Amino acid sequence: MTVNVALLGLGTVGQGVYETVVSHQEELRQAAGESVRIPVILIKDSCKNRSISGDVEITTDFNDIFKYPIDAVIEAVGGCEPVYGYLRKCLERKIPVITANKELLAKKGSELMNTADRHQTELIFEASVAGSIPILYIIKNYLKVNRIQKLEAILNGTSNFILTAMRNNKQSFEQSLAEAQRLGYAEADPSNDILGWDTFYKTMILSELIYHRQPDWNDVVRKGIDQVTLEDINAAIESQEKIKLMATLSRSSNGSIKASIEPVRIKKDHPLYAVEGVNNAVRIKTDLADDLVLSGPGAGAFPTASAIMEDFVSLFKNNKPLKDISKKRRAVPLFK
C-alpha cells in the first residue's frame, strides 16, 4: 500500500519536505508501515524552474489535489489566506493536515481544530514552533505529571541572528539585517520577524498547548528588536550580558495567563545565554523536572521538514490505517 500526500507550497520548506520524502523512503515505510508518495504539489508561480520528478503533477489550482486519492496534506505555503480556506476544505473531507503555519494557527487555530474535531480527523503542527526542536511534542505527549510553571524561549532565528551579528561584528541593526537578508535568514519584508510578530504567534500556540487558551492579545507586551542599538549591545557586553528577544509565558495565581515578547538582557549563567545565530531554544520550568532546556535549529529547509515529517509519521501510531484516525488518541484538547 502507498500513502498519498498532497504538498501545498514549494518554497524552502516545501522543497525540503519533497526531498525528504524522496530520500527517506525506508524510514517512512518503517514508521508509517507503508510507502509514502507525493502525487501532486500546489505552487503559486508556474514560471519558476523546479527540480521535481516528472510523475508529480505541479499545479496552481488547489482543487487539482482532489483528483488524487489523498491520505494527508502537508501545508508549507504560510500566511492566513488563501490557506485557511484550503485547510478547512481538506479537514472537511476528513483528510489530516500537517502544517508549520504559526500565523494561521495563532489566528484561526481554534476554528481549524474544531473543524478537524467535527470531521474526526487531525490537525498537527509541531513544525510551527521552534523548527526541529520537539517542544510541542514534549509538552503534549510527555509532561503529564509535571506542572509547567514558566516558559522562556528564543523562537525567532532571524532576530537572534541579527542580535548575534551586532554583538560579534560590532555592526548596526541595519547592517546586520542586510547581512541576514543576503544569507537568506531574513525575508525582503522582515517585519514579521524583527517586530516580534513571529515570536508572538508561536507564543500563542504554546499558550494554547499548555493552558488551552491564549491571553488577551491586547495584554501581551510585544516588542521586536528594531529599536535595539549598537550602544545597547555594547552596554550589555560591559555587564557580561547579552540581549535576546525573549518570549515568556506563565500563569499567575489568579489564573490569568501572562505572556511577553521583548528584548531582554540576560546574564552569563542564564540557560539561554549560549544560544547563538539562527538557533532557537526553549526553557521549561516545571515543579519536578526543574529546568529543562531544548535547543536546536529554529528554521531552514531540513530542520522544518524534520518536524513536519516526524509529525506526519505520528499519525500512524498503533499501526492504525490513516482512515481510522479518531480523536481518542489525543487525551488533552488543543485549541478548544
Catalytic residue at 258? no
Q: Which residues contact 318 (CB under 8 A, 6 or more apart)?
A: 329
Judged by beta carbon, residue 137 or residue 211, the one nearer its own copies is 137
Which uninterrupted H or E stretch holds 19? helix 12-23
Judged by beta carbon, residue 264 or residue 294, the one nearer its own copies is 294
State the Cα–Cα distance between residues 260 and 220, nearest whole angstrom: 5
Query: For residue 174, how many other CB atoms are within 10 A of its CB?
Result: 10
| Amino acid letter, 117 | D
* Cell numbers for 240: 557580561
- Work out whether the CA dihedral 20, 90, 208, 331 comes out positive or negative: negative
* Cell numbers for 294: 531544548
Q: Which of 202, 242, 244, 285 is catalytic?
A: 202
State the Cα–Cα distance between residues 295 and 131, nearest whole angstrom: 10
Shortest separation between residue 268's beta carbon and its own copies, angstroms: 9
Shortest separation between residue 67's beta carbon and its own copies, angstroms: 27
Shortest separation between residue 144's beta carbon and its own copies, angstroms: 4
State the Cα–Cα distance between residues 41 and 21, nearest whole angstrom: 13
Judged by beta carbon, residue 194 or residue 243, the one nearer its own copies is 243
* Cell numbers for 247: 518570549
Shortest separation between residue 226's beta carbon and its own copies, angstroms: 28
Query: For residue 21, how many other CB atoms are within 10 A of its CB?
Result: 20
Judged by beta carbon, residue 67 or residue 147, the one nearer its own copies is 147
User: Which residues bind to its own copies, rule: CB under 8 A?
Assistant: 20, 24, 27-28, 30-31, 132-134, 137-138, 141-147, 269, 271, 273-274, 276, 286-297, 300, 302-303, 305-307, 309-310, 312-313, 318-319, 328-329, 331
Judged by beta carbon, residue 169 or residue 227, the one nearer its own copies is 169
Which uninterrupted H or E stretch holds 326? none
Task: Give helix then strand counts, H and E, for the chain.
Answer: 11, 12
**How many angstroms separate the most distant Cα atoms in the chain?**
62
Shortest separation between residue 138's beta carbon and its own copies, angstroms: 6
Catalytic center residues: 202
